């Protein structure tokens, strides 16, 4: 299973049409061979969700700025032996939330900062950042100052349930 993960696109009816078209081209390229797209909220308008659904089947949760009916604030699905949860904002008590929902992976958005992080309680946290309004991750001692880049993410699960995930920086 190959998932394309995206969040915080913030596309509205007032968005520049040329920039929206350019964004769709970049998303199509990044997600050209995914089985499913997962959008972690703040799509904003239904017309853009429809465009993403033309690329691949799409699962989407409601973000704090979404103007789309019938989106859940949390969804859960499985791929291989992994239970994956999707929510827009990281829950206050992540450990309890993961335990209650029996999760191995939690995909979230809201921060606009890409993140791939394992926890001490065996949960993989994934945030694809934002392709339209990126924020730089926090600075870390010993590393270069991070730069905000438009991003999405890929999560692969192979036939042996081995997962790999990586961030794709879009050249928008």
- Give residue 77's pLDDT: 98
- Give residue 172's pLDDT: 84
- Give residue 137's pLDDT: 85
Task: Tell me which residue of 117, 134, 133 sits closest to 125, measured CA to CA.
Answer: 117
Q: What backbone phi and psi angles, to 5 degrees, belong to 167?
A: -95, 140
Tell me: the pLDDT tens digits for 8-36?
999 999 999 999 999 999 999 999 999 99
| Tokens representing residue 94 in the block | 């992540």
- Give residue 36's pLDDT: 98
Q: Where do the structural domains in the chain lie, given as residue ranges?
A: 2-169
- Give residue 2's pLDDT: 97
**37, β-bridge pairs:** 4, 58
Q: Which CATH number fits domain 2-169: 3.30.300.160, 3.90.550.10, 3.40.50.1820, 3.60.21.10?
A: 3.60.21.10
Mean local confidence (pLDDT), 82-96? 98
Q: How confident is the model at residue 74 (pLDDT cuts 50, 70, 90)?
A: very high
- Give residue 124's pLDDT: 98
Burial class (CB within 10 angstroms; exposed 0-12, middle 13-18, buried 19+) of 140: exposed
Q: Is the confidence at residue 107, as pLDDT, over 90?
A: yes
Task: Tell me which residue of 2, 50, 51 sits closest to 25, measured CA to CA.
Answer: 51
pTM of the model: 0.96
DSSP letter string, 122-161: S-EEEEE--SSS--PPPP-TTSPPP----EEEEEEE-TT-
With residue 94 as reference, give the H or E element that holds it.
Answer: helix 94-101
| Tokens representing residue 111 in the block | 């921060």
């Amino acid at each position: 299973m190959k998932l394309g993960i995206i969040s915080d696109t913030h596309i509205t009816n007032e968005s520049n049409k040329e920039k929206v078209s350019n964004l769709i081209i970049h998303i199509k390229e990044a997600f050209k061979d995914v089985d499913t797209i997962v959008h972690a909220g703040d799509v904003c308008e239904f017309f853009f969700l429809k465009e993403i659904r033309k690329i691949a089947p799409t699962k989407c949760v409601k973000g704090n700025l979404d103007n789309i009916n019938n989106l859940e604030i949390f969804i859960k699905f499985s791929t291989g032996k992994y239970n994956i949860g999707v929510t827009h904002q990281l829950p206050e008590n992540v450990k309890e939330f993961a335990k209650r929902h029996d999760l191995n992976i939690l995909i979230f958005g809201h921060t606009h900062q890409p993140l791939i992080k394992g926890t001490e309680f065996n949960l993989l946290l994934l945030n694809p950042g934002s392709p339209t309004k990126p924020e730089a991750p926090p600075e870390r001692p010993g590393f270069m100052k991070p730069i905000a880049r438009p991003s999405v993410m890929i999560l692969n699960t192979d036939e042996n349930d081995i997962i790999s995930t990586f961030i794709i920086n879009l050249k928008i």
